[in-house]
Amino acid sequence: MEVIDYKGYRFLKVCESPNIVISLNSTEQFCNLSGEGKQDLLNQAFGVSAFNEFIQVHGTSIFNLDLNTREYDGYIERKLNVANAIKTADCIPLILWNERNKLIIGLHCGWRGIASGIIEKALQNDELDITHAYIGPHISKDHFEVKRDFIESFQEYGLNIDRYITVRDDKMYMDLRSLCEAKLHEKHVKIINKESHCSYTEYDQFFSWRRDKNQSLRNLTIAWF
């Protein structure tokens, strides 16, 4: 990985096939640009031909799969050089792909989306043949404190998450990454990174809603073939 500084905007370059870059906390904040401004900068810095970002609502609708909505928490992209973004500030930006078919999927995986089955929905079509995944920066298990009603919310979806809960000093903490990993392993998807950056502790790089509340901006995980 390397950090790219372009005109005051910083990006973490994760890999090249597919291209995955993450906008970082910078002198100039990429997330504050207009959609057209983002596309122009990505074209200049990385040569992408088009750019999409979405209204995210912690749901399960996926762009290029679901119709009759303007709110998407994921996308499926088959066109080359078209970049799409997942916006996060503690949730997991999950990127999935098949390099041979040049197909890429991005998902906004907060706990609500994971509980509602957004990962299973994206992977339900075996013809997509997703082979690899990148689990992006999110709040780590040491800082994702939860309450009993959080656990009960998963139970309403028929999910027992006890194995992902750690109790420390009479407080409960959730390992969101391990839950995500388990769902990917069920589909035999190879995860390329063994660890993820923590959005909560790495304040000089990433935004965190838990840390900064309403003052938090958003990191964009941008991917394309």
In the chain, the number of structural domains is 1
170's CB contacts (< 8 A; 6+ apart) are none
- Residue ranges making up the domain that contains 14: 2-139+187-224
* pLDDT tens figures, 155-212: 999 999 999 999 999 999 999 999 999 999 999 999 999 999 999 999 999 999 999 9
Structural domain contains residue 150? no
Structural domain contains residue 9? yes
Q: What's the whole-number mean pLDDT along residues 85-110?
A: 98
Half-sphere exposure for 107 (CA within 13 Å, toward CB): 29
Q: What's the whole-number mean pLDDT along residues 80-92?
A: 98
pLDDT value at residue 95: 98
Structural domain contains residue 79? yes
* pLDDT tens figures, 40-80: 999 999 999 999 999 999 999 999 999 989 999 999 999 99
Structural domain contains residue 111? yes
Structural domain contains residue 78? yes
CATH number for the domain harbouring residue 24 = 3.60.140.10
* pLDDT tens figures, 8-27: 999 999 999 999 999 999 99
Tokens of residue 169, six digits: 């000093």
Structural domain contains residue 165? no
Q: Pairing state of beta strands 9-16 and 92-98? A: unpaired
Q: How far apart are CA 201 and CA 91, in angstroms?
A: 14
Structural domain contains residue 163? no
Handedness of CA 155, 145, 57, 180 (dihedral sign): negative
pLDDT value at residue 215: 86
Tokens of residue 127, six digits: 């013809």
pTM of the model: 0.97
Structural domain contains residue 169? no
* pLDDT tops 90 at residue 143: yes
Tokens of residue 156, six digits: 């309403």
pLDDT value at residue 140: 98
